[in-house]
Amino acid sequence: MHDHHDHHIEEHFTSSELVRDIVIGMADGLTVPFALAAGISGAVDTNSIVITAGVAEIIAGSIAMGLGGYLAGKTEVDHYAAELKREYYEVDHLPEREKQEVKDVLGQFGISIATQNQVAEELSQNKDKWVDFMMKFELGLEEPHPDRAKKSAFNIAASYIVGGFIPLSAYFFTDHPHEGIKYSAIITLIALAAFGYFKSKVTGQNKIKGALRTMLVGAIAAAAAYFIATWIDHSF
């Protein structure tokens, strides 16, 4: 039974981390290449230039996003290790203060002083369990998976690439950027709405508002890029 519980917790954290990575990668993957392609569409006459620039941006963006995800995951692992070391030191050298911290944590849940004292004493008999309690309940830290940084980097980069090729796909089957941008806008806004809906569903927010908000952000970014590029092109 205990093994099943641990497995459930691990699966829950893994799936929530995967969803978080996909959201991070897809959010930028849909918006940035869409805005870039729209901007270039306002200044050039051939789809091949838009596609070349778009693919280059997707490659560069996915590497940058993946690297950012890797560093964030690495920081999480390093932070946990540093806090764990500090907790072990405090349990060894400042046991009375650590017992009081256990009591303070339990006190926040309205647990009686008698029970606080009993739990603090029982926990102090097992150093590993004591430290584990402090990590989870005092610091709110769960042990990250050692491969978290690598997995996060891959998930974010892959999500960015998938998201990026959605707006760019329109330029593969159209003849002119002015035509491409119309289909790109339709495809991308539908994708942004679906993504916003999914993200809101996962985070427990209003799904329709989430879909509209995500669409609006993408539309504003692309429109701004298109009109600025058109204005610059006509000015020079």
Q: What is the pLDDT of residues 16-28, one digit of tens each?
A: 788 889 888 988 8
The residue ranking higher by pLDDT, 68 or 120, is 68
Which residue carries 């590497």 as its tokens?
A: 63
pLDDT of residue 17: 80
Instruction: Domain count for the chain, please give it.
Output: 1
- Mean of the per-residue pLDDT values for the chain? 82
Half-sphere exposure in the Cβ direction for 101 (13 Å, CA): 18
Whole-angstrom CA distances from 103 to 91, 96, 113, 181 are 14, 11, 8, 62
pLDDT of residue 109: 74
Whole-angstrom CA distances from 123 to 2, 100, 106 are 19, 12, 12
Torsions phi, psi for 79 (to 5 deg): -65, -45
**Res. 2: pLDDT tops 50:** no
User: Predicted confidence band at 48 (pLDDT cuts at 50, 70, 90)?
Assistant: very high
Q: Domain range holding 14?
A: 2-235
**pLDDT tens-place string over residues 165-203:** 999 999 999 999 988 988 998 898 888 888 888 877 776
For 9, counting Cβ atoms within 10 Å of its Cβ (0-12 exposed, 13-18 middle, 19+ buried), the class is exposed
pLDDT of residue 24: 86
Half-sphere exposure in the Cβ direction for 190 (13 Å, CA): 7
**pLDDT tens-place string over residues 101-135:** 778 778 777 777 877 777 787 777 777 788 787 88
